Amino acid sequence: MVSRTFWVGGNWKMNGSVAAIKDLATTFNAGSSPSDVEVVIGAPFVYVHLLSESLRKDWAVAGENCYVESSGAYTGEISPEMLKDVGAQWVILGHSERRSILGESDDFTAQKCVKALAAGLKVALCVGELLEEREAGITQQVVERQLDAVIKVLKEEDWANVVIAYEPVWAIGTGKVATPDQAQETHAAIREYLKKAISPKVAEEIRIAYGGSVNGKNCKEAAQKPDVDGFLVGGASLKPEFLDIVNATQ
């Protein structure tokens, strides 16, 4: 049995200001963070550099998205190389808001993964189903379709630098949370699928984090589940209670 390092990601989405980020960094820097938990915070592009300068050095910084080219005539886009240049070590890709609001396809998300990994960033790859898909009983088909696009274009060794974030869309920002048992069931099914689709080694070693209305109160029970290897946290990552989630396994 491989022991997987617990991973906690924050996703600030389109929130923050210079003053607020300096305050939060001060709070986070003073808090306790277990040495056996990897912590990554995703900030809006314009604040990545500020956050990487302000944040404790045992935590990493992520971009919330990137483009599929290194540079060029792509007005308003940001390349993985640019993220690295301003201090990011990670990027969040395939978030449901990118997929559903901005219409980004599975294949486009997969191309971004290839580009980001080639540039030396690690990837938090988000997958998850809509409420109507969960109610129709097709959660697994949806998640496998989203993963398949990426599996087709990555080499087996690339997966060492990927964390999968399972985020049921119906639980993001709604206050509804997949129960620890629902999260465990889907994570276990994802791991089983990866065993066939990539290899038993990748399936055993990859970390699968849960995201969707995670907070300081509901994280502890889910953290005990064998296939829940961490969390990707939205709203609560903008509050001091993020430290409670970082310490969920303690």
Catalytically active residues are 95, 167
* Burial grade of 159 (CB within 10 A; 0-12, 13-18, 19 or more): buried
Query: DSSP letters along 222-238, please?
Result: HHTSTT--EEEESGGGG
Q: Which of 143, 3, 7 is nearest to 62 (CA)?
A: 7
Q: How far is CA 27 from CA 43, 92, 232, in A?
A: 16, 23, 19
Q: Are 236 and 215 in contact (CB under 8 A)?
A: yes
The rounded distance, in Å, linking the Cα atoms of 184 and 27 is 31
Q: How far is CA 141 from CA 145, 181, 200, in A?
A: 6, 19, 20
Q: Are 172 and 133 in contact (CB under 8 A)?
A: no
Contacts of residues 100-107 at CB distance under 8 Å and 24 or more positions apart, as own/partner, are: 100/130, 100/169, 105/149, 106/145, 106/146, 106/148, 106/149, 106/150, 107/149
The DSSP call for residue 21 is H
Q: Are 230 and 209 in contact (CB under 8 A)?
A: yes
